[in-house]
Copies of this chain bind each other. A is one copy, B any other.
Amino acid sequence: MHTPIPLEKSWRLLNHGPTVLVSAAHQGRRNVMAASWNMPLDFTPPKVAVVIDKNTVTCELIKASGYFALNVPSRALAAATVQVGNRSARDLPAGQDKFAWAGLQTFAGSLIGAPLIGGCLGWLECRVLPEPELAHKYDLYLAEIIAAHADPRAFQDGHWNFAEGMPRSIHYIAGGHFFESGEQFSEALPE
């Protein structure tokens, strides 16, 4: 389930630090990896920063296409997130699609060629900003969010608000361990 969300609220999908799935495609090839090392970078226009190892197939497709999608998985996709985060497409049988291997469904984005991953809580379609030195020195990619979508049962009117019993976003620790996004609480802003 996914509906468009306004770009000016799109950075809120990443503000609380969830682990994401990065998907990319170029000339008929496509791939997916996991990335804990991501953050919003700006509000207007909305931008993100993400670390993408230069040895990955996903990185190759991002460099070739100039686009990627960040998909915010729910706990229901945590096992698949660990799988795609710890196995390269290069180590799968020849011709095996990594999405299919991990049991991930996909659907088309609105503006970019990278596939979006079904069952996620939110999706950001991103255009890479040309900063080749950052990519070379730090594996660091900066990008503008050009379209955004969310599952309205999890994020609506610009706010996370998980429906009762719904799997939540996930935060990778290391070694297959995660925190689920926990209790929501509020503190008063200064007067």
Interface residues of A (CB under 8 A from B): 12, 15-19, 36-42, 47, 49, 51, 75, 78-79, 81-83, 86-87, 134, 138-140, 142, 158-160, 168, 171-190
Contact = CB atoms under 8 A, between A and B. Distances in A.
A190 B39 contact: no
B16 A189 contact: no
B185 A78 contact: yes
Contacts of A134: 134
A12 to B, nearest CB: 6
A176 B37 CA distance: 24
A20 B150 CA distance: 26
A47 B134 CA distance: 14
Contacts of A159: 173-174, 177
Contact of A49 (B39, B160, B190): B39
Contact of A171 (B51, B176, B181, B188): B181
Contacts of A36: 15-17, 39-40
A19 B175 CA distance: 22
A184 B176 contact: no
A183 B188 contact: no
Given A182-B181, A184-B178, A172 B16 contact: yes
17 contacts: A15-B37, A16-B172, A16-B178, A16-B179, A17-B17, A37-B40, A39-B39, A40-B51, A41-B140, A49-B49, A86-B190, A134-B134, A159-B173, A168-B182, A176-B188, A180-B184, A181-B182
A85 to B, nearest CB: 9
Nearest to A101: B190
